């Protein structure tokens, strides 16, 4: 028979949202238990430099920032555990969750902070420079500053790709936008915006063959026209991918209301409430608009405060 733990607060997933929720929940004597998930620290652990999070005037690496947040959560006695939650049952008043090692957890409150994973092209060269931190990124707002007055390439054809290309155009000397088909998926207003920006060049029917580079980082992109099979090399120091994100919410879909893409729906705008009483959400598992560390941290705070109020009402 599996071991059963009864706790007040379970936090599923780490990162800025999860750790902030843990800090607030622990300081409120909720004795939170956190399972870090498959990627402890979340997406920021793949970010080499973080310069836009308040309180770090000289910047900080993503992994270092996550270690500091973990230490802060543990300082207030958060039980931080490696591993992940693989199954949940939110059908009754007690929220049942199972960890990978078979532990059955009965939690009065659950805070979902599982985040979302950026989708990449899957090229070996792309992954090489992504891991190196040398020129591949899925967030122009996060990393665009590092390519000021340089040439960049962005892949994508939706609203997000257009928005990020336009953002990069204000910083970079040139932005080359690679569109796989002969038309955009973006809204007309967003398409017109990039088409009318002088330093954005749009290449349609174009796919990436390889991200080029050296030991220092990215130096260019080899692309192919999928109509003519003609290849060409585009010089660039930054290669941005904007083809979407996948929220890590599959294990909740039987119980939690999700949108068509898989993001968790807020039951009440301006809160962290889901459709299941006692289950709250923070960070990129619900946020498909901002997707920033600082906004994730803010929603982690909200989730912990909402969970504390829920517990108080139960005990009152």
Could you list the active site residues?
Answer: 139, 142-143
**DSSP percent split of the chain into helix, strand, coil, nearest 5:** 30, 30, 40
Alpha-helical runs (H) found in the chain = 15-27, 62-75, 124-132, 140-143, 159-169, 188-195, 293-315
Closest CA to 304 of 91, 77, 6, 8: 8
The separation between CA 184 and the C-alpha centre of its own chain, rounded to angstroms, equals 24
A 10 A CB-CB count for 146 gives: 16
Torsion angle defined by CA atoms of residues 257, 259, 265 and 269, in that order, rounded to the nearest 10 degrees: -140
Cβ–Cβ under 8 Å, residues 80 and 34? yes
């Amino acid at each position: 028979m599996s071991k059963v733990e009864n706790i007040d607060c379970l936090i599923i997933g780490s990162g800025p949202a999860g750790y902030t929720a843990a800090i607030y929940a622990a300081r409120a004597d909720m004795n939170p238990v956190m399972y870090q998930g498959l990627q402890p620290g979340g997406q920021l652990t793949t970010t080499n430099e973080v310069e836009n999070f308040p309180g770090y005037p000289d910047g900080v690496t993503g992994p270092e920032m996550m270690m500091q947040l973990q230490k802060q959560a543990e300082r207030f006695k958060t039980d931080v555990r490696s591993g992940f939650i693989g199954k949940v049952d939110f059908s009754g008043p007690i929220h049942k969750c199972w960890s990978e090692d078979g532990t059955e957890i009965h939690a009065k409150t659950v805070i979902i902070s599982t985040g979302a994973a950026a989708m990449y092209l899957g090229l070996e060269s792309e992954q090489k420079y992504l891991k190196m931190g040398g020129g591949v990124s899925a967030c122009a707002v996060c990393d665009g500053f590092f390519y000021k007055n340089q040439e960049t390439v962005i892949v994508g054809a939706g609203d997000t790709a257009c928005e990020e290309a336009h953002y990069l155009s204000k910083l970079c000397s040139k932005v080359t936008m690679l569109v796989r088909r002969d038309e955009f998926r973006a809204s007309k207003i967003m398409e017109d915006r990039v088409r009318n920006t002088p330093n954005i060049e749009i290449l349609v029917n174009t796919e990436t063959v390889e991200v080029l580079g050296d030991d220092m980082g990215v130096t260019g992109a080899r692309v192919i026209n999928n109509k003519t099979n003609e290849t060409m090399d585009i010089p660039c120091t930054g290669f941005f991918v904007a083809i979407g994100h996948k929220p890590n919410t599959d294990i909740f879909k039987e119980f939690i209301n999700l949108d068509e893409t898989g993001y968790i729906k807020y039951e009440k705008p301006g809160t962290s409430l889901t459709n299941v009483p006692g289950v709250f959400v923070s960070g990129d598992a619900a946020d498909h608009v901002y997707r920033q560390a600082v906004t994730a941290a803010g929603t982690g705070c909200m989730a912990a405060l909402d969970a504390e109020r829920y517990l108080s009402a139960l005990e009152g």
